[in-house]
Chains A and B, each alone.
Chain A
Amino acid sequence: MAIKRKAEGINASSSADIAFLLLIFWLTTTTMNSDKGLQRRLPPMPDENQQQEDVKVNRRNIIQVKINSNDRIIAGGQIMEISEIKDKIVEFVTNPMNLETLPEKEMKEIEGFGQYAVSKGVVSLQNDRGTSYNAYLQVQNELVKAFNEIRDDFAVKNYGKKYNALDEDKQKIIREAIPQSISEAEPKDIGKRR
């Protein structure tokens, strides 16, 4: 009675279409957002009970970059365009001629490298409440660019490679030799004071 039939395979020609539908659904509903940006470390809040002692920073060791509510920039007492900031900061931090007016350097022992004259320069960034975020970030970007340039210079001089191409140990040495000392000062209303 029973006729043995050969089992037929399932028709799989449409499974490609189904998979495509799923794929397209996923493509449209998800976002490929990779988070990129400028990383910063905020200074810790001073303790209220603790007497705030002013850390005396020598005048020559600090450069003030201020942005007012019209997004005009003043760096080290000079009004300047955004494109000029980088060179100003590079000159300030490296102090190539060892000028009296630019930051001091301090000999430091860096593990794995030896003695190096680390600049004591600090970039202090101040903004007004009316400054646009875009202008603020552009200046931040220029500051990072300046420090990256100094680091790259140091890396090429000592290791013959750019900072990003070096391994973690050497990057750490460089980070120690050229600290990214950008201080985001306590907020002030620069615009209103005038």
Chain B
Amino acid sequence: MAKFNRGGKKEVPPLATTSLPDIVFMLLFFFMATTQLREETALVTVKLPQASEIAKLERKDLASYINIGSPVLSKQAEYGTDARIQLNDSFKTTDDIRDFVAAERENLSEADRTFMTVVIKADENVRMGIITDVKQELRRCSALKIMYAASQASK
């Protein structure tokens, strides 16, 4: 063994950190590319129900969202705790869905309009009455592709 320790005390060379910024920047760009900034502030609390047979939405850019749930704590003094519909950034009623769908449709290109999906994000404790109203309204403006948002059930 003496053969190898001939040099006596040898210091461990410091770790080369010159490439560390590059690595971190790469991570940063990865996250910037894969995430999207939170677009709307949540006015209703939504705890999605769990389901096991869920599928991923393929074209996220074609989705428009309808949130249904009871208002967040800070809004409860004004709006109460009954389930409400949130479209974009404000509380709306079922009558406003027609305009909302029309506006969302307008944003899409001609070819994509038939593939527009309306994602219904409803709290698990919401009664079906309000959801049935929403569904009927969607049928009326022929936005027939819908998705019930759900989270993956742990098996």
- List chain A positions with a Cβ less than 8 A from chain B: 12-13, 15-16, 18-20, 22-23, 26-27, 29-32, 34-45, 127-134, 136-138, 140-141, 144-145, 148, 184, 187
Partner of B49, one of A12, A128, A138, A145: A138
A35 touches B57 (CB 8 A): yes
A35 touches B119 (CB 8 A): yes
Q: Determine chain A's interface SS by DSSP, over half rule.
A: mixed
- List chain B positions with a Cβ less than 8 A from chain A: 17-18, 20-21, 24-25, 27-28, 31-32, 34-38, 49, 51-57, 60, 63, 117, 119, 122-129, 131-132, 135-136, 138-140, 142, 144-152
Q: A16-B21, A133-B123, A137-B150 are in contact. Are A37 and B54 (CB under 8 A)?
A: yes
Q: A40-B146, A134-B124 are in contact. Are A31 and B35 (CB under 8 A)?
A: yes
Q: Determine chain B's interface SS by DSSP, over half rule.
A: mixed
Q: How far is the CA of A27 from the CA of B38 in the complex (A)?
A: 12
CB contacts between A and B, total, < 8 Å: 147
With CB as the reference atom, state the residue of chain B lying closest to A147: B53
Partner of B36, one of A30, A37, A136: A30
**Nearest CB of A to B65, in Å:** 9
**Nearest CB of A to B66, in Å:** 12
Q: A23-B28, A35-B119 are in contact. Are A137 and B148 (CB under 8 A)?
A: yes
**Closest CB pairs A-B (n = 9):** A129-B129, A30-B35, A134-B124, A19-B24, A35-B57, A141-B51, A37-B149, A131-B128, A144-B53
A129 touches B152 (CB 8 A): no
Q: Which residues of chain B have C-beta atoms less than 8 A from A38's C-beta? A: 51, 53-55, 147-148, 150
**Nearest CB of A to B84, in Å:** 14
Q: Which residues of chain B have C-beta atoms less than 8 A from A43's C-beta? A: 139, 144
